[in-house]
C-alpha cells in the first residue's frame, strides 16, 4: 500500500489542525497514513525511511525553516520519497519551495491536491493535479492558480495526533484564570479583509470558505472527548461568518455548558456587534484577540486597518463592560513609529487598563515583510533600506535608535512559551 507521512513542526503551539484536516481524506482514499508532530515528539528520523510520500505542513512563517530542515533530512534518509509542502505559508512560497527543497508544493486548499498527488504517485498517470507546483514547473517558469474550490470539508482526524495536554497555552491560562486543556477548530478558512501585512490576504485574496455547522460541532465533541476544557477558534476573523459562528456557539454551549472559548476579530467588528458580543459573553466567550497594531493613526492607515484610535479605545471599554477580556496584539516595532511614540504606547496601555493582560511578547514584535507582502509595493516601505532574503525582506528603521531599542528588548524564549502574535499570519 502507498505510504504517506504527514509532518507538522509548529502551529502556534496548538495541536496541528492543518495536518488533522489532511489525514481524513487521505485515509478515506485508501492510503496508509502516518503522522509526526516534531513540536511534541521531536524529529524521529526512523519515520522517514519508508514513506513513498512525505507531506510537510507549513501553515505559519515560524514553521518554514523547520519544515525545510525536515525535508533535507527526509531527502538524506529516503531519497526516493516524494516531498511536498502544504499550508498557508507553503502557498505563499510555493515557487521557492518546489524543486529546491522538495518535489512539489500545494497552493491553496490542500485536501484535494494532496489526494490527487498521492493517487498520481501511486500509479494513476492520467489524474489532474490541481493546485500543485512542481520543480519542473518552476524551472520552466510556469504559473498556476492556487486551488480554491471547496465541495466539502472533512472531519479532522484527532486520534492520530499527540494528546491535547501536550500543547500548553500559557496566555490562555492567564486570560481564562486557570489551567486549561486547549483545543482548536475553525468555522471558516480565509478572510474577507485585506490588511496589507496579513499573510491570509496573500494566500486567500479575500476568499472565505465556511465549514459545515454539524462538522464543527462533531469536531468539538471529539476534542472534548480528548480532554479539552477551552476552545480556540483559529479563524483569521470569527466575524467573517458571524451568523454561522453564533449558531455554532449556541449549539456548543447547550451541549457543553462549561466549555469556554476565544476567537479573533477586528476592532470595527467589535463595535458593529455589541449586542451579539453581549450574548456571546453569556455563551462563555472568555476573551477575544484583536490586532490593535500600534496606537497611532499613521500606523493604522499604513497597514489599511480602516479604524481609528477612538474606535480602539471604545472597543476596549465595551469589552470590559461585557466581562469578555481583550487579548491585544501589536506590531510594536514598525517603520512608521517615532522613538517618542514608545512613551505614548505605555500611556495608552495604562490608560486602557491593558498592562496586566498583554502577553509580554507583544512588546517585542516587529513587522514581518514576507515575500509577496502587499506592503512591499507601498511607497513608505519602498523608501526604507531593505535587504532581500529568500523568503522575506529585512528592513531598517529610518531612525537607528528604534532598531537599537528593538534588539535591546528581545528576551530569551521561556520554556513552553511560544511567542506568536496571532495564529493565522
Domain containing residue 270: CATH number = 3.20.20.70
* Grid cell 512613551 in the structure block, residue: 343
For 419, the grid coordinates are 511567542
| Shared-domain flag, residues 133 and 186 | no
| Shared-domain flag, residues 135 and 241 | no
Q: Where are the beta strands (DSSP E) in 211-284?
A: 230-233, 260-264
Whole-number Å distance between alpha carbons of 300 and 201: 17
List the beta bridge partners of residue 385: 396
Q: Comparing C-alpha atoms, which of 215, 265, 155, 186 is closest to residue 14? A: 186
Domain membership of residue 321 (yes or no) is: yes
What is the domain count for the chain? 2
Are residues 58 and 18 in contact, defined by beta-carbon separation less than 8 angstroms? Answer: no
Whole-number Å distance between alpha carbons of 135 and 98: 5
| Shared-domain flag, residues 112 and 173 | no
How do residues 231-260 score in pLDDT, each as one tens digit?
A: 999 999 999 999 999 999 999 999 999 999
For 421, the grid coordinates are 502574535
What is the reported pTM? 0.94
> Which residue, 79, 106, 140, sits at the end of a domain?
140
* Grid cell 476534542 in the structure block, residue: 223
| Shared-domain flag, residues 194 and 330 | yes
- CATH code: domain of residue 67: 3.40.50.280
Contacts of 389 (CB under 8 A, 6+ apart): none
> Which residue, 125, 140, 155, sits at the end of a domain?
140
Provide the residue range defining the domain that includes 244.
164-409
Count CB-CB contacts under 10 A for residue 269. 21
Q: Comparing C-alpha atoms, which of 128, 135, 85 is closest to residue 108? A: 85
Are residues 209 and 147 in contact, defined by beta-carbon separation less than 8 angstroms? Answer: no
| Shared-domain flag, residues 224 and 180 | yes
Q: Comparing C-alpha atoms, which of 287, 285, 288, 315 is closest to residue 300? A: 315
Q: Would you list the DSSP string of 88-140?
A: HHHHHTHHHHBTTTBSEEE-B--HHHHHHHHHHHTT-TT---TTEEEHHHHHH
Contacts 24+ apart (CB under 8 A), 243-247: 244/187, 244/188, 244/210, 244/213, 245/187, 246/276, 246/279, 246/280, 247/213
Burial label for 161, CB within 10 Å (0-12, 13-18, 19+), is: buried
Burial label for 18, CB within 10 Å (0-12, 13-18, 19+), is: buried
Domain membership of residue 377 (yes or no) is: yes
| Shared-domain flag, residues 176 and 312 | yes
**53-57/3-8 β-pairing:** parallel
Report in angstroms the alpha-carbon separations of 92 from 133, 279, 304: 12, 37, 20
Are residues 8 and 16 in contact, defined by beta-carbon separation less than 8 angstroms? Answer: yes
Domain membership of residue 145 (yes or no) is: no
Domain membership of residue 26 (yes or no) is: yes
Domain membership of residue 358 (yes or no) is: yes
| Shared-domain flag, residues 130 and 273 | no
pLDDT of residue 417: 42
| Shared-domain flag, residues 246 and 372 | yes
pLDDT of residue 32: 98
Domain membership of residue 129 (yes or no) is: yes
| Shared-domain flag, residues 131 and 173 | no
| Shared-domain flag, residues 96 and 234 | no
| Shared-domain flag, residues 362 and 312 | yes
Domain membership of residue 293 (yes or no) is: yes
Whole-number Å distance between alpha carbons of 272 and 256: 28
Q: Express as a percent the part of the chain with pLDDT over 70.
A: 96
Residues (pLDDT < 50) of the chain are 414-421
Whole-number Å distance between alpha carbons of 214 and 246: 13
Q: Comparing C-alpha atoms, which of 417, 394, 388, 420 is closest to residue 407? A: 394
Whole-number Å distance between alpha carbons of 384 and 335: 8
How do residues 386-417 score in pLDDT, each as one tens digit?
A: 999 999 999 999 999 999 999 998 876 544 44
Sign of CA dihedral 337, 339, 344, 347: positive
| Shared-domain flag, residues 59 and 170 | no
Question: In 3-state terms, what secondary structure has residue 84?
Answer: strand
pLDDT of residue 150: 87
Domain membership of residue 147 (yes or no) is: no
Report in angstroms the alpha-carbon separations of 395 from 65, 185, 336, 378: 20, 35, 12, 13
Count CB-CB contacts under 10 A for residue 77. 14
Amino acid at each position: 500500500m502507498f505510504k504517506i507521512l504527514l509532518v507538522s513542526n509548529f502551529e502556534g503551539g496548538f495541536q496541528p489542525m492543518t495536518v488533522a484536516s489532511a489525514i481524513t481524506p487521505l485515509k478515506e482514499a485508501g492510503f496508509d497514513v502516518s503522522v509526526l508532530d516534531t513540536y511534541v515528539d521531536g524529529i524521529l528520523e526512523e519515520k522517514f525511511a519508508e514513506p513513498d510520500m512525505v507531506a510537510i505542513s507549513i501553515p505559519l512563517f515560524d514553521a518554514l525553516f523547520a519544515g525545510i530542515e525536515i525535508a533535507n533530512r527526509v531527502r538524506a534518509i529516503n531519497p526516493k520519497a516524494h516531498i511536498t509542502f502544504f499550508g498557508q505559508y507553503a502557498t505563499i512560497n510555493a515557487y521557492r519551495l518546489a524543486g529546491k527543497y522538495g518535489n512539489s508544493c500545494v497552493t491553496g486548499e490542500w485536501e484535494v491536491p494532496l489526494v490527487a498527488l498521492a493517487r498520481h504517485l501511486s500509479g494513476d498517470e492520467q489524474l489532474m493535479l490541481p493546485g500543485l507546483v512542481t520543480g519542473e514547473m518552476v524551472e520552466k517558469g510556469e504559473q498556476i492558480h492556487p486551488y480554491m474550490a471547496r465541495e466539502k470539508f472533512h472531519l479532522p482526524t484527532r486520534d492520530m495526533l499527540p494528546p491535547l495536554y501536550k500543547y500548553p497555552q500559557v496566555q490562555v491560562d492567564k486570560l481564562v484564570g486557570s489551567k486549561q486543556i486547549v483545543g482548536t477548530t475553525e468555522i471558516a478558512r480565509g478572510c474577507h479583509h485585506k490588511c496589507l501585512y496579513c499573510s491570509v490576504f496573500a494566500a486567500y485574496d479575500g476568499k472565505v470558505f465556511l465549514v459545515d455547522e454539524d462538522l464543527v460541532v462533531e469536531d468539538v465533541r471529539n476534542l472534548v472527548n480528548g480532554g479539552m476544557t477551552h476552545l480556540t477558534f483559529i479563524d483569521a476573523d470569527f466575524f467573517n461568518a458571524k451568523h454561522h459562528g453564533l449558531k455554532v456557539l449556541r449549539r456548543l454551549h447547550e451541549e457543553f455548558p462549561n466549555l469556554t472559548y476565544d476567537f479573533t476579530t477586528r476592532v470595527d467588528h467589535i463595535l458593529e456587534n455589541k449586542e451579539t458580543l453581549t450574548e456571546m459573553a453569556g455563551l462563555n466567550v472568555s476573551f477575544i484577540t484583536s490586532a490593535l497594531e500600534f496606537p497611532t493613526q499613521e500606523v493604522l492607515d499604513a497597514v489599511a486597518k480602516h479604524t481609528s484610535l477612538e474606535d480602539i479605545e471604545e472597543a476596549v471599554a465595551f469589552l470590559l463592560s461585557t466581562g469578555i477580556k481583550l487579548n491585544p496584539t501589536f506590531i510594536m516595532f514598525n517603520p512608521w513609529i517615532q522613538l517618542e511614540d514608545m512613551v505614548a504606547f505605555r500611556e495608552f496601555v495604562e490608560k486602557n487598563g491593558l498592562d496586566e493582560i498583554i502577553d509580554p511578547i507583544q512588546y517585542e514584535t516587529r513587522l514581518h515583510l514576507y515575500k509577496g507582502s502587499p506592503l512591499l509595493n507601498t511607497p513608505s516601505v519602498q523608501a526604507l533600506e531593505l535587504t532581500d532574503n529568500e523568503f522575506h525582506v529585512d528592513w531598517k528603521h529610518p531612525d537607528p535608535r528604534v532598531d537599537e531599542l528593538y534588539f535591546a528588548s528581545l528576551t530569551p524564549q521561556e520554556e513552553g512559551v511560544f511567542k506568536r502574535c496571532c495564529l493565522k499570519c
